[in-house]
Structure 1
Amino acid sequence: MVEKRDIDIICNSSVNWRLYQGRTVLVTGATGRLGRYILETLVDVDLRYNLNMRIVGLARSEEKTKYVFGSTLELPNVYFLYQDINTVIDYNGPIDFIFHTAGAAAPIDFRDRAAETLWGHVNGTHNILECARKHNTNRVLYVSTVEIYGEWLSKDNIKESDMGIMRHLNYRACYPEAKRLCETMLASYKEEYSIDYCGVRFSHTLGPGIAIDDGRAFAEFMKCTLSNKDIVLHSDGSAMRTYTYTADGVNAIFLIMEKGESTMYNVAADENLISIRDAAELIASMSHSGKTKVLFSEEACNMPYLPFKLAIMDTSKVRELGWKPQVDVKQAFQWTMASFC
């Protein structure tokens, strides 16, 4: 279950929940971190405001769905489809809004399942857009990534209309290149079939529900700290990152679905800008034993981290919609680590 604290963060904004009154909402990747937050929020506001929604989750595993949602599945307004996003979506009835979050996003997937990662995003988004076309869906929200910008050489923060170099002849590009194609699909379906869309480009979200062994740098730092092991950096740690707490990110998703234009929005907590080295030091300082240190190594790392420094995104567009992150970087790390205990 999503923490009440996090539901309150998501709902602490100017979202007009009446948008969903009497509507059917589909959430893909419903057992993933973003999907479960979206679905649990919809359940909460449906009960709170008596919206008479039908909330449909899509997930591969019925067993995992029962573990993640528990008694929520007993509610009469919640329905689940159990299938792979790569297969055609078979649902009878209206679908008014779609939140499309499904797709592998962990570095360990890029390394071990590059082809499956690529096709999961491409086939999945194609199936969602065909579903939206069949059901005359009002709007599709798509979750994308800062990685679509590629290698950004300017010192300026990157705007949604900018684009950097993408070195595509690298298996690591399976993720950002697939995301780029999916964004093009959204624009193409709007042009030809009038399927309205909007979307977010996230940069490093974290919070309860993330897997500690998925290969992201901050997750590795937390894993070491909780195991009383030293954190070993394979660079000088100077690369900068913005860390956005999941509840803040989902808050932005709902604002964009309601108020956003038919385009993509950068979403990142600029206030939480921190270097990888400082992030490692901060996480190490949370060790209960005090034994974790940050060390440096020149040995190659076997995880497929990005070979370049990520762009820092300009988030002025989403802030004009009224979005403002509420969780600082220390809280984000603390609450994420606490979820592993």
Structure 2
Amino acid sequence: MKDDIVLQDMKDIYGRNIEWDQFRDKTVLVTGPNGMLASYVMYLLIFLNEEKHFNIHVIAMARSAERFVARFGECGNARYITLVTDPIHGPIHIDGEVDYIIHAASLASPQYYDVCPVDVLSPNVIGTYYLLRLAAKKKAKGFLMFSTGDVYGALRGVEYVTEKDMGIVDPLDIHSCYSESKRMAETMCRSFMHQFGVPVRMLRIWHTYAPTMDIDKDPRVFASFMKNIVNGQDIEIKSDGTGKRTFCYAADAIAGLFTVLTKGKDGEAYNVCNTDQFVSVRQLAEMLAALRQDVEIKVAWKQRPADEHYTENTAIGAIAPSNEKLKGLGWEPKYSILEGFRRVLEYQMQR
């Protein structure tokens, strides 16, 4: 791993108040390792092995070996990494022990909801089921599932979205393929804990961003804005810009992930978000435009094409999530929007 933004983030995460020794000489299985956040999980496990000599056996379950090699380069060929390209929508066979499972495989981008909803829900429902069966068989010490703030649905009458709140999701809305399948995944996790004693914990992840995000293919607003900034183009907003989001930098999110895995309570879900960084889309655009000092970037409005795939979650758009439950485990976010996206810009400009 080169001495760049990612390595700096790994050092930052390792310096947090987390009981890292739990992972020494253990086997950790990660699904969806090519994804934005899951890749940071992989980089952290690589860091623990290369820099701290933890002797972790990493099993990476990825659909594409080519993408895995492109993402991790020489690090992906390390002797302690086993790459498995078998699908997770059937029985999973892994030789030897599996101590921890981090299930991150998912098609989380709204661009897929209208196009291939079955592909969206499959890893969340079928994949979660077979991974939980594997965890039960292997008597895993921990099972962590990447869930989403979308599970809350449409909420009214609350100041902050806590883990005890739950709104309405229409199961017949095609966009619900993601949120409803994540709800089912959480129910399965709790059921496997109740019936088979699997030590499950769930992360309800809100808007997060990382230096390694794919700004060319990710249609979410923050990725699109960053693409404009990197290319020195004006930022285009395809809404009225009033919808609000929380934005959490990857280093904070991954620190939260490992905090839950090491200190969380079995069967519980935790919001992973930076409540203090709750801004409108327009505010975000203006803040990011100011990051480039060498070119003038303006914020403009443009009508959204009728055929453009887009979904709006009312809970995310109107009410800030609470991170008090995660803070109760000793976690604290460190990065503001400006600090985090400045790191993203520096990384992207070096590509």
Provide Cα deviations, 1:56-110, integer angstroms capped at 9, x if missing partner. 1111111111111222234322221122232332211110111111111112122
Does residue 55 of structure 1 match 2:58?
A: yes
Structure 1 counterpart of 2:228: 224
Q: Which of residues 103, 108, 111 is equivalent to 2:106? A: 103
Task: For residue 102 of structure 1, give the secondary structure of its aligned residue in structure 2.
Answer: coil
- Aligned partner (choices 295, 310, 313) of residue 304 of structure 1: 310
Aligned residue type for 1:210: M
Q: CA shift at 1:230, angstroms?
A: 3.1
For 1:34 and 1:258, locate their aligned partners in 2 and report how far apart those are by CA, in whole Å.
18
DSSP-derived class of the 1:3 partner = helix
Instruction: Give SS of 2:89's match.
Output: coil
For the residues of structure 2 that align with 1:275 and 1:153, how far apart are their CA atoms? 19
How far has the Cα of 1:133 moved from its partner? 1.6
Matched, 1:157 2:149: no
Is the aligned partner of 1:141 residue 2:144?
yes
Contact 1:105 / 1:175 at 8 angstroms: preserved in 2? yes
State which of 46, 51, 61 in structure 2 corresponds to 1:43: 46
Asked if residue 245 in structure 1 is aligned to residue 255 in structure 2, the reply is no
**1:297 deviation in Å?**
4.3
* 1:193 equivalenced with 2:201 (yes/no): no
> 1:323 and 1:154, CA in 2 relative to 1: closer, same or farther beyond 3 A?
same
Deviations 1:234-278 (A, max 9, x none): 332122211001111000111110100011101111222211110
Q: Does 1:279 align with 2:284?
A: yes
Conserved? CA contact 2:37–2:210, under 8 Å: no
From the superposition, tell whether residues 224 and 75 of structure 1 become closer, same or farther in structure 2 (CA, over 3 Å). Answer: closer
Unpaired segments of 5 or more residues in structure 2?
Answer: none
Pairing 1:321–2:329 present:
yes
CA distance in 1, matches of 2:193, 2:121: 22
Give the distance between the partners of 2:184 and 2:256, measured in 1 at CA.
23
Aligned to 1:116: 119
> C-alpha offsets along residues 120-156 of structure 1, whole Å, 9 cap, x if unaligned?
2211111211111221111101111111101111241
The 8 Å contact of residues 100 and 140 in structure 2, kept in 1 or not, is answered as yes
Q: How many residues align?
A: 341
The residue number in structure 2 matching 1:339 is: 347
Output the CA distance in 1 between the equivalents of 2:144 and 2:240: 37
Deviation sequence 1:268-316 (CA, Å, 0-9, x none)? 1122221111001112223456443222345565231315351311111
Q: Which amino acid aligns with 2:206?
A: S
**Superposition RMSD in Å:** 1.9
**8 Å Cα contact 2:148/2:179 also seen in 1:** yes
Amino acid at match of 1:68: R
Stretch deviating more after TM superposition (313-322 or 39-48): 39-48
Note closer, same or farther for the CA distance 1:287–1:113 as it changes in structure 2 (3 Å cut). Answer: farther
CA shift for structure 1 position 184: 0.3
TM-score by length of 2: 0.91
For 1:337, the aligned partner's letter is: L
- Give the aligned residue type for 2:241: G
Decide whether aligned partners of structure 1 residues 70 and 270 sit closer, same or farther in structure 2, where only a CA change above 3 A counts.
same
**After TM superposition, which residue ranges in structure 1, 4 or more long, deviate above 4 angstroms?**
297-301
TM-score by length of 1: 0.94
* Corresponding letter in the other structure for 2:311: Y
Cα distance in structure 2, aligned partners of 1:217 and 1:240: 11
- 2:175 match: secondary structure: helix
Question: Which one of the candidate residues 230, 255, 258 is aligned to 2:259?
Answer: 255
In the alignment, which residue of structure 2 is the partner of 1:68?
71
Contact 1:172 1:304 in 2 (8 A): no
Name structure 1 gaps, 5 residues minimum. Answer: none
Tell me the amino acid that sits aligned with residue 257 of structure 2: I
Alpha-carbon distance in structure 2 between the residues aligned to 1:327 and 1:68: 24
Secondary structure in structure 2 of the residue aligned to 1:15: coil
- Share of identical aligned residues, percent? 29
* CA shift for structure 1 position 47: 3.9
Which of 85, 88, 91 is the matching residue for 1:85?
88
Matched to 1:165, the amino acid is I
Q: Which of 171, 176, 180 matches 1:177? A: 180
Distance 1:49 1:231 in 2: 42
Task: State the AA in 1 paired with 2:92.
Answer: I
Assess if the C-alpha contact under 8 Å between 1:29 and 1:100 holds in 2.
yes
